[in-house]
Chain A
Amino acid sequence: MDETRMPPGFGRRGLLAGAAGIALGGAFGAPVLAQGSRTLRVRFGSDISQLDPARIFQNENQSIAGHIYNGLVQYDQRTNEIVPDLATGHEVSADGTVWTFRLRPNVTWHKNYGAFTSDDVKFSLERVLDPATGSLYRGQLASVKEVQAPDPMTVRIVLNEPNSGFLHKVCAFNQGWLVSRRAVTEIGERYSMNPIGTGPFMFDRWTTGSEVRLVANPAYFGGASTLTDVIFRIVRDETAAAIALENRELDIFYALQSPDVIERLRRAQGITVLDRPSNNTVNLVLNTTVGPLRDVRVRRAMMHAMNRKALIDGFFRGTKFEATSVLTSTFQEFSEEGVPRYAFDPDRARALLREANVSNFRFEITTVGLNPFDRFPVALANDLQQVGIQATVRVLERGAYVQARSSGNVQSCITAVVGPPDPDSPLVTLYHTRSHPPGLNTSRYDRADALLAEAARATDAAGRKAAYGRLLRQTMEDLPVLPLYADRLFIAHGPTVQGFVQNSLFTVNVSPVSLRGA
């Protein structure tokens, strides 16, 4: 679309003579010119619900929190390497159980909540570990025995046993985001929507269903943003959001999903469309404790029966990637070595079903009524029908879906584990026995615990990768979870946006962004 379109004038109005409201539109002049302020406007597809790191989940919440909070360390947005954040450095004891972090001096909490000290780190981690908090991420810190604050600028974390992946647990994401003892204590129950952090932006206000506003933190230790504020506008419809981006009513379009809209924006003048593989696959999780699904041959037959390439090329028009396991290429521990592949082969699927002596098998896929999860399983069900499995799709509204899944009483369900590039995030969540329902291990798989513990005990990166590699091989042989495709996040921005870096966390972070000409 032409960004230099003429402002509406009388000639244009003449085209619409008689239509009500035209005079009103003209009276207010051209609405679509870029603003002169340093406000960045970002599109969100859905609303936020809570910003307390102990309980936070969902991409929109995490996107907001990423601007407000810091961790001891953080993921480099480009490479996913772990780099310093509020800790300037750390040492690990020879036996791998004592981690000592030196903290950054002169960091202050937002809104006059005082100086950041080791006591806040101790409070943040102990708060997640306290059962009374009801944190979702207590298990992530299960290896922590004790958190000590020997002086205001030093934190010592003592582990029960060595954990080669421990830095992931204190990385700036979810439980790794640090909170202020004073703020959490004083604000109390209302903290979840009144967050206090040390990050480049401070929480200003939330208008339910409409927008979230953050303002720049002038005292940010990394240097204040050149933006004055960021407004996250909730625009559910992707076409409306695309028009708003083209009209310069928005600067960044987050969570771009529809292949049509992606194509449209790629053709639009002045719009940049970015994409990056994200840290998650979308999976069909099979309940391995019921009916024919107990037999691994049936599960393998299903994998051969589903034309996943056609799903990616056809339904998603190439906007997703093939998945070879539940880890994606964004993980440093990702490996395909020795991991079995399952080509689309309906004959092989039929043969495996015959071998397993399965006939008249009724199979139900439970999925959530959100785009695209409510539509693509239909194609898979059709593939399964072609080999004689009587597959149906049950679409549930989100609340009902979450309840059905957490009850564990589903034959199969569509599940994606969106999270940091910590391999434990998908692997523990999908395969560990401690994630049995109400957790997401609805397959009730029980053969991964030892391998996950082995990976945690590994002392170096190579050993760690080898252990995860063994786990990937085993789980792809056993197939409690069928990876359908690897997700890919699209983000588009307008011509005035500079310095934007897309991460693989499925979140949007505009901290390094500046506006050209503002």
Chain B
Amino acid sequence: MVAYIARCAAQLLVALVGIVTVAFFLMRAIPGDPALYMLGDFATAEALATLRARLGLDLPVWQQYFVFLARAAQGDLGVSVVTGEPALAEIWAAVPPSAALAVAGMTVAVVAGVPLGIIAAVRQGSAVDVGVMLIALGGISFPVFWVGLVAILTFSHALGIFPALGATSEPGLLKGLHHLALPALVLGLSVAAYIARLTRSAMLEVLGQDHIRVARAMGVPERRIVWKLALRNALIPVLAVIGVTFAWSLGNAILVEAVFSRPGLGSTILKAILARDYQLVQAGVLVLAAAVVVLNTGLDLLYGAIDPRLRQR
């Protein structure tokens, strides 16, 4: 187990360095200039040169890269060129609202997706199955920003149940949850559709296997077959998908944050990209990548707990 964890940690490090390197060069490959962004339409050549020198942008890119790596190794991800605050601190400040949205969204996704998938599998071919799969197809097909706008029009405008703004600075947990509910539903339902389809196919595969047939022949109650014997085996691919969809839902979260005017990592990184705030983008990508890699590593370890065969490999 220790060797397994060590291997995961090594992979994590390599993945992070790789991701940050790609982000570093991609940001510099796109046209645009942070100094121009900061100085705006009335920038003079002289003011631009002064600012570029101050930001270290006058150095060759490879030199900037090694300066960045050396500092990052010491935990210094630089300072946001826009605000002058440490980049990592700004990113950390954006983590709580994003984490709240991601956790709430994934909760909705799992709570809705897994049972729907099971029901569709058990009633394969029935109207319920077709209905659930149609809804799931819709959930996957409709872009999340469109679903978000429809949700605002329905639940905020027509019914007045949820606020149109997905965040509030007013104190109070209930108030915060109330603002979070609609964005979490919208984010969660798109992932739930995916999980429902996968749970259905995994369940169908397991339900068709010999040991289930034997259990049925031996008169084991159907409820026990579905929930005890089949679900546990079907959960392994579903867990894997939860890991993958977490990364995918981070992309969707940016859109959800924009539609519902929520603060968070998505809007912070998007704004940083538009402003060519290199340090902030790098810090954001690093934190996001670390979150995805750590989550997937955690899930790898969880598979081991669920399926002893994986531990022996």
Determine whether A274 belongs to the interface, using a CB cutoff of 8 Å to chain B: no
Q: Residue-by-residue, is B98-115 near A (CB-CB < 8 Å gives 1, otherwise 0)?
A: 000000000010001000
Q: Which of B38, B41, B161, B267 contacts A25 (CB 8 A)?
A: B161
A189 vs chain B, min Cβ distance (A)? 5
Determine whether A324 belongs to the interface, using a CB cutoff of 8 Å to chain B: no
Q: Which of A15, A207, A439 contacts B44 (CB 8 A)?
A: A439
Q: Which of A231, A247, A397, A398 is most buried by chain B, counting CB atoms within 10 A of its CB?
A: A247
* Interchain CB contact under 8 A, B39 and A247: no
* Interchain CB contact under 8 A, B159 and A16: yes
CA gap between A209 and B90 in the complex, in Å: 11
CA gap between A7 and B162 in the complex, in Å: 11
CA gap between A488 and B266 in the complex, in Å: 32
Given A136-B39, A399-B32, A406-B36; A193-B161 close (CB under 8 Å): no
Task: Name the segment of A26-34, A149-157, A308-316, A351-359 touching the other chain.
Answer: A26-34
A-B pair count, CB < 8 Å, reads 203
* Interchain CB contact under 8 A, B44 and A235: no
Which residues 108-131 of B have a CB within 8 angstroms of A?
108, 112
Q: Which of A211, A239, A398 contacts B169 (CB 8 A)?
A: A211
Q: Which of A25, A137, A193, A406 is most buried by chain B, counting CB atoms within 10 A of its CB?
A: A25
B156 vs chain A, min Cβ distance (A)? 5
Closest to B179 in A: A31
* Interchain CB contact under 8 A, A136 and B149: no
Please name all residues of chain A whose beta carbon is closer than 8 Å to the beta carbon of B70 when the two chains form the complex. Answer: none
* Interchain CB contact under 8 A, A240 and B84: no
Task: Name the segment of B199-207, B214-222, B269-277 touching the other chain.
Answer: B269-277
Please name all residues of chain A whose beta carbon is closer than 8 Å to the beta carbon of B155 when the two chains form the complex. Answer: 25
* Interchain CB contact under 8 A, B164 and A243: yes
A311 vs chain B, min Cβ distance (A)? 23
Given A134-B50, A193-B83, A429-B42; A32-B263 close (CB under 8 Å): no
Which residues 187-212 of B have a CB within 8 angstroms of A?
189
Determine whether A246 belongs to the interface, using a CB cutoff of 8 Å to chain B: yes
Please name all residues of chain A whose beta carbon is closer than 8 Å to the beta carbon of B165 when the two chains form the complex. Answer: 233, 235, 240, 244, 249-250
Q: Residue-by-residue, is B259-302 near A (CB-CB < 8 Å gives 1, otherwise 0)?
A: 11111100110110011100000000000000000000000000
25 residue pairs A–B, Cβ–Cβ below 8 Å:
A20-B108, A21-B181, A28-B177, A50-B38, A50-B83, A136-B40, A137-B42, A138-B47, A190-B83, A192-B83, A207-B263, A208-B93, A209-B263, A209-B267, A210-B167, A237-B261, A240-B164, A240-B259, A243-B152, A396-B31, A399-B32, A399-B33, A402-B33, A402-B37, A439-B42
The 5 A-B pairs at the shortest CB distance, nearest first, are namely: A399-B32, A210-B263, A209-B267, A57-B40, A25-B161
